[in-house]
A = this chain, B = another copy of it.
Amino acid sequence: MPATPIPSSFLILQPRFNFNFKPILQSLDYQFSSSSAAFNGARNFFIPRFPLTSNARVHSNLSQATATESPSDNGSGGGRSGALSPGPVTGDVQKIDANPPKGTRDFPPEDMRMRNWLLNSFKEVSRLYGFEEVDFPVLESEALFVRKAGEEIKDQLYCFEDRGNRRVALRPELTPSLARLVIQKGKSLSLPLKWFTVGQCWRCERMTRGRRREHYQWNMDIIGVPGVMADAELISSIVTLLKRVGITKSDVGFKVSSRKVLQEVLRCYSIPDNLFGKVCIIIDKIEKIPSDDVKNELKALGISQDAVQELLEVLSISSLPELEERLGSSGEAVAELKELFSLADKFGYAEWLQFDASVVRGLSYYTGIVFEGFDREGKLRAICGGGRYDHLFSTFGGDDIPACGFGFGDAVIVELLKEKGLLLELSLQIENIVCALDLDLQGAASMVASMLREKGQTVDLVLESKPLKWVFKRAARINAQRLVLVGNSEWQRGMVGVKILSTGQQYEVKLDDLE
């Protein structure tokens, strides 16, 4: 096999890169320095950050060279002779804002591990419940989200005209897209559908704790089941998720009501059904704006003083027997709520649930049971919310299908987990770090890495000539289980050196026996 030539760019561009390259490392009888042992057994506690000062120097040198080079090269033909150190890509330097746009997030590795942990928990719970994952375009037709009930969501749309002059919007929620897909698929679908989505949504709104302009939302929906069993199953899945991430019933509860409570009151006062959505949206603001404003908005819809009074009184009820007393026991609202509490008992989450007539939720399409998860300390916004939307399909021009679902964002739950000290720092873990002890052996190290990866082992291959001290630091940072060293004399004998980093045990092993 031909020896790997020393890369010329390495020598020309990075003369200082060899600064730490000690000839002793090329020795075949490599010794693990005693200082590196300090990393053993402390892998999850001590993950040092080391800014690699020698690298940093090289970079800033490079950068200066670029900066001085650009202006003189502009315009006339300033071709250079000598070493072909590449010039800047274009003539222009454009200082950018290094922060992500307002309300959005970057996910560096540590945050990404957290996001994956949470989003995978959503997915695992959904699969436990036998739900199938679906997704929809992030960019949807604006018309899908614009309803006439005065919802907050409409004013917060990220919408624009695309190059084909179509009005489009970044989805603020997932349910309308789901309804669109169900309508599109039509009779080819076997009901009931149990679908879940974990997807990004946008709302251009004022940012508060646990609310950004972009977030991930977990949705589960059951399409085609009219009975309360479906609503009960959904809440059960949320409880399972909460338990899985360490939340208990003393941290979180669910407020449950039914929009049919409001509907029954409205019908007593002969208020037309087509005002129902608007009334719900106004009433949902009851904790956000002064109650006189709520009253005035209701009156502006043409609802009488008496009806408004009755509505507000009923909304203050937080006991199911009291509701039954007020509305009678023949209506659907009371019957469904009673059934839900009975099922909650069977599912095993009755203690998480409480009736609260003031819960109506802020989306106009809900028709029946509605619920929201809240932190019992009352510090945060709703953790999740959902309900039954039996008529969304017909408002889109499709045939109605009974349906219910919920949305559960990734922001408030993380705030709560932080509050409760339940947010674990997840560390990177790579099984092997493979390192050549000699620049000439980088090809050999590549072979070793490839072999291990073919056996399913995760490998961080050291891509440069680095001192062993550096390699041990990196091994500690990535929580490597073992270090595989490719040295010249071992390699000639078909062997590599192995050090188990947790125990310090070190040995030589035949390449073929490396598992």
Interface footprint category on A: 35 or more
**B346 with A447: CB separation less than 8 A:** yes
What are the 10 tightest A-B residue pairs by CB atom distance, in nearest-first order? Answer: A91-B274, A95-B397, A130-B460, A87-B273, A160-B160, A346-B443, A104-B137, A79-B270, A98-B184, A109-B132
Q: What 0/1 readout, one digit per residue, does chain A (358-384) give for beta carbons within 8 Å of chain B? A: 000000111110000000000000000
Q: Can you list 27 residue pairs at the A/B interface with Cβ under 8 Å? A: A7-B227, A13-B226, A86-B367, A86-B368, A86-B390, A89-B365, A90-B149, A94-B395, A95-B397, A98-B183, A99-B184, A101-B166, A104-B137, A104-B139, A107-B133, A108-B185, A112-B132, A112-B134, A129-B458, A129-B460, A130-B430, A130-B459, A132-B428, A138-B214, A162-B204, A240-B453, A343-B442
Chain B residue at minimal CB-CB distance from A52:
B191
Residue A21 lies at the interface, judged by CB distance under 8 Å to chain B: no
Count identical subunits in the complex. Answer: 2
**Is A321 in contact with chain B by the CB < 8 A criterion?**
no
Q: Does A319 contact B (CB under 8 A)?
A: no
Q: 5 more A-B contacts (CB under 8 A) besides A86-B260, A107-B134, A108-B185?
A: A50-B190, A75-B272, A100-B180, A104-B138, A129-B459
Whether a CB of chain B sits under 8 angstroms from the CB of A127 is yes
Any chain B CB within 8 A of the CB of A493?
A: no
Contact of A308 with B by CB under 8 A: no
CB pair B96–A141 under 8 Å, yes or no, is yes
Count chain B CB atoms within 10 A of each CB in A232, A272, A345 and give the residue with the most.
A272
Contact call B339/A136, Cβ cutoff below 8 A:
no
Question: With a CB–CB cut-off of 8 A, which chain B residues contact A227?
Answer: 7, 9-10, 463-464
Contact of A464 among B93, B132, B192 (CB under 8 A): B192
Are B4 and A342 in contact (CB-based, < 8 A)? yes
Within 8 A of B (CB), among A400-443: 400-402, 428, 430, 433, 442-443
Residues of the B chain whose Cβ atoms lie less than 8 Å from the Cβ of A500: none
